[in-house]
Amino acid sequence: MKRILWGSTSLLLAVAMIAGVFPMHVHAVDPPKEGFNIITSPLPIKLMTKPGATVETELRMKNLSTQPETIKMGLMKFGATGENGQPNLFELNSKDNYASWVRFSPSQFVAEPNVWKSVKMTITVPNNAELGYYLAATFSRAGQGNAKKATSYRGSVATLILLDVNSANAKRDLELISFTSTKGLYEYLPATFDVKLRNKGNIYLSPTGNIFIERGGKPVSSLNFNEAGGSVLPNSNRVFQIKWKQGFPVFQDKIVNGKPVPGKSGLVQDLKWDIKNISDFRVGRYTAKLLVVYDNGKQDVPMESTLSFWVIPWKIMLVLTIILALLGFGIYTFLRSAVRKTKGGVGKIRRGKS
């Protein structure tokens, strides 16, 4: 009986070790504050047209505050900042004659709370226009000026428009600079991949593709590359980040009141144990194969790269090893005791006969 109790106690200790290895995190967040709060859709807008033509698109916005807002439309331009695709807004200058091409209808209106409002944007392209134009339609409070160098700022929000005017001088040339993993060894998924591209042409490009995950030469998973349709602007680099999240367990951003919780070194992460995904337990060496495709104006051009990484859930493996060791020791002790009792019983029988 004592042996059985000891074995049960060992199992409870192992369970307690698991609880200590995977602690829970609880963080408080501040309540949202009232103010100018609007959203726009879609973002961004990509338009293709010809010289001398007129193109139209619909801009949509919603006022998320509790009070009506008087909104005025404005126009800025944008360019790429850094290598993560973050746009940087600039005021138009005298050389930016495309400001006269654009009309908004209406150009000013009252946005009621929680109601989508549509604005028609008309662009009349002159005959001498060509290549790409990168516009930002701004929604601002009436009576205030446009803010600079931001896509979301106090009192204004911008929708980006990429206008491609067909031209025989267009040069579409994309280069794959690197394909890397943020770590060579992961304890749990997600695994994060960075794809760095450079646009060496004179028109924006929106590449597509996949990342194929294999283990031991066998396919495991397939990830969409650039699913959101992001673009690389001319003469700039951009890093696309793709995450492989199909694992058990898997780290996920902690969400409170519909928003991720910030921590000291990024967003707070919780380890999610969804038993229905237990077949997605990951361990071992994996290979990621990248295939990126872009249109050079004549045909699709493929670019490929491969890397390897490891997933070793060492805490789980350590706990399982300890549990197996404890169970094995308990079974060994029980069998040894049973053998001794059997030998002792046989000895007594023999002495009784003699």
CB 117 within 8 A of CB 61: yes
CA angle (158 as vertex; 121, 68 as ends), nearest 5: 85
Q: Determine phi and psi for 353, rounding to 5 degrees.
A: -70, -35
Q: In what order do the strands lie in the sheet with 236-244?
A: 174-181, 191-199, 236-244
pLDDT at 6: 36
pLDDT at 260: 87
CB 236 within 8 A of CB 266: no
Separation CA 71–CA 111 (nearest Å) = 7
Separation CA 335–CA 327 (nearest Å) = 12
Q: Nearest CA to 231 among 58, 37, 85, 346?
A: 85
Indicate the helix (H) or strand (E) that contains 136: strand 131-141
pLDDT at 41: 83
Cα torsion angle, 252, 255, 258, 259, sign: negative
DSSP of 71-86, one letter per residue? EEEEEEEEEEETTTTE
Tokens 């807002």 belong to: 69
Indicate the helix (H) or strand (E) that contains 334: helix 314-353
CB 64 within 8 A of CB 114: yes
DSSP of 165-187, one letter per residue? E--TT----EEEEEEEES-SEES
349 CB-near residues (< 8 Å, 6+ apart)? none
What is the identity of the amino acid at 108?
Q
CB 60 within 8 A of CB 41: yes
Collapsed DSSP state (helix, strand, coil) of residue 316: helix
Separation CA 23–CA 9 (nearest Å) = 21
CA 118 from chain centre, in angstroms, equals 29
pLDDT at 347: 58
**pLDDT by residue for the chain (354 residues), tens digit each?**
433 333 333 323 333 333 333 333 333 333 334 567 899 987 789 999 999 999 999 999 999 999 999 999 999 999 887 777 778 899 999 889 999 999 999 999 999 999 999 999 999 999 999 999 999 999 999 876 544 444 444 457 899 999 999 999 999 999 999 999 999 999 999 999 999 999 999 999 999 999 999 999 999 999 999 998 999 999 999 999 999 999 999 999 888 888 888 888 788 989 999 999 999 999 999 999 999 999 999 999 999 999 999 999 999 989 889 999 999 988 989 888 888 877 666 555 555 555
CA 280 from chain centre, in angstroms, equals 20
Question: Helix axis angle, 2-21 relative to 314-353, nearest 10°?
Answer: 180
